[in-house]
Structure 1
Amino acid sequence: MPARIVAHLPEGPAVESWVADGDSCLVGRAAHCTLVLRHPSVSREHLLIESQPTWRVANRSNKNGTQLDGRPVDSAPLTSHHWLQLGDVTCEFQPCGQSGLDAARASQRQRQQHSTAIGEELAARFDKAGGVEGVSPDLLDATLQAVIQLAECERGFLLLRDGDGWRVAAQHDAPAGNPGPGLQEFSGSHTAIRLACERGEPVVINDARGDPRTRRQASVLEAGIRSLLALPLQGPSGVVAALYVDRRELGHPLTEFDVGLAAAFAERAAVWLAARDAMSLLKQLPRWESGDAEAA
């Protein structure tokens, strides 16, 4: 019977792996592992999960050991839903039928195809509206809604740099029914935005109420935020904007696959905004006429 393994890292998106019946899954920090966990508490080859023919976990040579449902193990059967602890990383093991594995693979293909289709549609709208002149609030709002949908979140904000602060260029709150650009102030996690911009990379928090960086934030508590994703939009001279999405239900964790889909839209929006800003600067430069050159 196939199995699903989801690794929950202290920071960053969850890492998901589906293992077919008869296959094995080497979990560790090394690049050759089946499930690569880039965390210092995880050994290069931490543990092996394999079916022989039933599922078992075998601890490899590592310093931090492995716990199965809270108890240390060297080798043990995996008979149902289990939790594995690898240093500071928690892994969820769940057997599933072949139909579950096929459905998961089909879902990823469909989401990837859907992402490509939305991206092509937005690019066509951008070109039809006049290129850099077409970076309108409607286009930014459509980009934000695509990220919300692909990350399976409930609400989001697209923020533009405004001096030392931020300006809401687009926002969408599905439960409240408030789509549209610039309707309210940013009410997401300011900490997530700050970290994303400082690091220049996505910030994912899958349990905002338990994470030490956000669990005491008024914005997190008041909005009931459980999971969130903040993406910096990089221009030639730094961060020009940020995309932020979150949800109020825990649901399944935000994974590397989810972040990859969202990041593709963030990169496209960053290119559009950087081009628009560059064109705006060009228009502010003094114009030289042929007569000016002759006079000089």
Structure 2
Amino acid sequence: MHARLTVFLPEQAALSHVLRDGERLQIGRGEDCGLCVAHPSVSRLHAEIAQDGDGTWVLGDRGSKNGSHVDGKVVAEASLPGDAWLRFGDVYCEFELVDAARSARIADQQQARRARATALTLGLQRAAGFSALLDGTLQAVMELGHCTRGFLLLRDDDGGFAIRACQAIDPTLLAHRRFSGSAGAVERVLREGEAVVANDVGSEAWLAARDSVVAGGLRALVCLPLRDAGGTLGAIYADRTTAGPAITRLDLELLEAFAERAALYISAQRASDALVGAPRWAPAAAGIAAP
């Protein structure tokens, strides 16, 4: 039977790997491992998962510094006859048995998500006006990130950021930073210009220590920069307080590609809107050359 391993890396999108019958998967920090887990608590070659003669998946530690665990117990070698939680160093992983049919569905779902991201990107071209473009951008990020609420910020003329789209969050609370989300994630994205993803918000020390995060009961969040040639144009934030699928590397790849294209459309639309009401250049009269 096939299996799926989902790796929950701190402050990163989750890794997802489907193990097929007969596969021998080496796990570690080394780039030559079949599953590279780039975390300092993980050894270069930390562990290996393979099938025994009966087809049962077996986890074997490979002399790692910080140990391998199955359902909370440190192991040198352990059979994985059913679903289990694994830990390599400080990195938690979900191990699931999947039959061939479900394995095929996973591959189909990934392809469908790529197609959906492409459709959402093309849909931006058909947005009827600037507000519709911003609303459509936010809705798409919420969908691709498996989130239920969010907002979009754009840089204004005085160098600050204005709330230009909002879904399922009171904008007056946003304006005073009293919403039950992570203002810190937004500030980090605006400052550093890099995406922030958290799948287990409670385990992220820099997030879990914030009162707003604790009060809001956040389960996952994603915040993406909107970049143009002049720097950071704005940011899109989305989160959820309910259980849901992990935000994976594939999801982040699709989200970043979408945000990059959306930023181009938003920048172009802003430039177009800025021309409305501006003094017009009068064309020369027919047959009369301009001096």
Q: Bin the TM-score by the shorter chain.
A: 0.7 to 0.9
Q: Give the AA of the match of 1:226.
A: R
**1:170 counterpart letter in structure 2:** A
Equivalent residue in structure 2 for 1:272, among 253, 260, 265: 265
The one-letter code sitting in structure 2 at the alignment partner of 1:14 is A
Report what 2:17 is aligned to: 17
Q: Is the 8 Å Cα contact of residues 151 and 261 (structure 1) preserved in structure 2?
A: no
User: CA, structure 1 residues 222+84, in 2 after alignment: closer, same or farther (shift >3 Å)?
Assistant: closer
Partner of residue 193 from structure 2, selected from 197, 200, 209: 200
User: Do the aligned residues in 2 keep the contact of 1:28 with 1:42 (CA within 8 Å)?
Assistant: yes
* Identity of matched residues, %: 38
Gap runs ≥5 in structure 2: 285-289
- Following the alignment from structure 2 to structure 1, what is the Cα–Cα distance between the partners of residues 215 and 61? 43
Contact 1:206/1:250 (CA < 8 Å) preserved in 2? no
Could you state the TM-score of these two structures normalised by the residue count of structure 1? 0.83
1:244 aligns with 2:244: no
Q: Counterparts of 1:69-108 in structure 2 under 5 Å?
A: 69-108=71-110
Alignment of 1:250-261 (within 5 A): 250-261=243-254
Q: Using the alignment, how far apart are the partners of 1:152 and 1:208 within structure 2?
A: 15
Give, in whole Å, the separation in 2 of the partners of 1:150 and 1:137.
20
Structure 1: any 5+ residue segments left out of the alignment? none
Distance 2:31 2:191 in 1: 27
What CA distance in whole angstroms lies between the structure 1 residues aligned with 2:63 and 2:116?
Answer: 42
Deviation per CA, 1:75-109: give whole Å up to 9, x if none. 22111122222111111211122222111111111
- Residue 68 in 1 paired to residue 63 in 2? no
Q: Is the 8 A contact 2:133 2:266 kept in 1?
A: no
Partner of 2:60: 58
CA-CA distance at 1:228 after TM superposition: 0.5
Give the deviation of 1:259 after TM superposition.
Answer: 1.4
CA contact (8 A) 1:171 1:183 kept: no
Give the drift of 1:241: 0.6
Contact 2:85 2:95 in 1 (8 A): yes
**Structure 1 residues 155-184: Cα deviation after superposition (integer angstroms, max 9, x where no partner):** 1111112345421111122xx8x9xxx787
Query: How far did 1:31 drift?
Result: 2.5
Provide the residue aligned with 2:115 in structure 1.
Answer: 113
* TM-score under structure 2 length normalisation: 0.84
| RMSD of equivalent CA atoms | 2.8
Distance (Å, rounded) in 2 between the aligned partners of 1:214 and 1:208: 6
Aligned length: 278
Give the Cα separation in 2 of the matches to 1:165 and 1:87.
Answer: 42
* Equivalent position to 2:139, from 140, 145, 149: 145
Deviations 1:55-85 (A, max 9, x none): 1011224322222222322222111122222
Q: Cα 1:285–1:74, aligned 2, differ >3 Å: closer, same or farther?
A: farther
Note the C-alpha offset of 1:121.
2.3
Q: Kindly provide the amino acid, as one letter, of the partner of residue 166 in structure 1.
A: F
